Amino acid sequence: MPSDESQPPPDLTPSSGGPTDVSRLSQREPKPAHERTAEEDRDLADWKLIAGSEGFQELLRAKRRFIVPATIFFLLYYFALPYLVGYHPELMERKVWREVNWAYLFAFSQFFMAWTLAAFYVAAAAGWDRKAKALLASFKH
């Protein structure tokens, strides 16, 4: 922060005239929106009020209802593979189809597990997006 405002230093900031330029040192008008830091728009909203509202708490609960079980599920499903393969090889070496054994099939199924869970997540998240949008709109007076 220059303390001596009477003699502004020459401004050497490079400028291409585009909207992505950094604000010039001598700039007096407010910073463009993309340059404000979180600290600077701390007063953007009454955070406490929103955080305490029933709508926001409901949003958090809805997210938790999905995220916690989903995370536990995929971790269990994934680590079951090295566990079973490592400690119960006789089970996993049994053949399912022609030469393909359970070990390969289970490993292969992990890909579809990941894609399916991702699809469920996207569907659930679309609902949260709507909730969040409605919530923010209700706070805009």
- State the Cα–Cα distance between residues 52 and 64, nearest whole angstrom: 17
Residue 5 touching other proteins (CB under 8 A): no
**In the bound complex, what is the minimum distance in angstroms from residue 81's beta carbon to other proteins?**
7
- State the Cα–Cα distance between residues 59 and 135, nearest whole angstrom: 9
Residue 47 touching other proteins (CB under 8 A): yes
**Burial call 113-126: b when 16+ CB within 10 Å, e when fewer:** eeeeeeeeeeebee
Residue 24 touching other proteins (CB under 8 A): yes
Of residues 4, 7, 10, 44, which one binds other proteins by CB under 8 A? 44
Residue 45 touching other proteins (CB under 8 A): yes
Residue 18 touching other proteins (CB under 8 A): yes
**In the bound complex, what is the minimum distance in angstroms from residue 97's beta carbon to other proteins?**
8
- State the Cα–Cα distance between residues 120 and 126, nearest whole angstrom: 10
For residues 50-109, which are near other proteins according to CB under 8 A? 50-52, 56, 59-60, 63, 67, 70-71, 74-75, 78-79, 81-83, 85-87, 89, 92-93, 98-101, 103-104, 107-108
CB 117 within 8 A of CB 23: no
- State the Cα–Cα distance between residues 141 and 125, nearest whole angstrom: 26
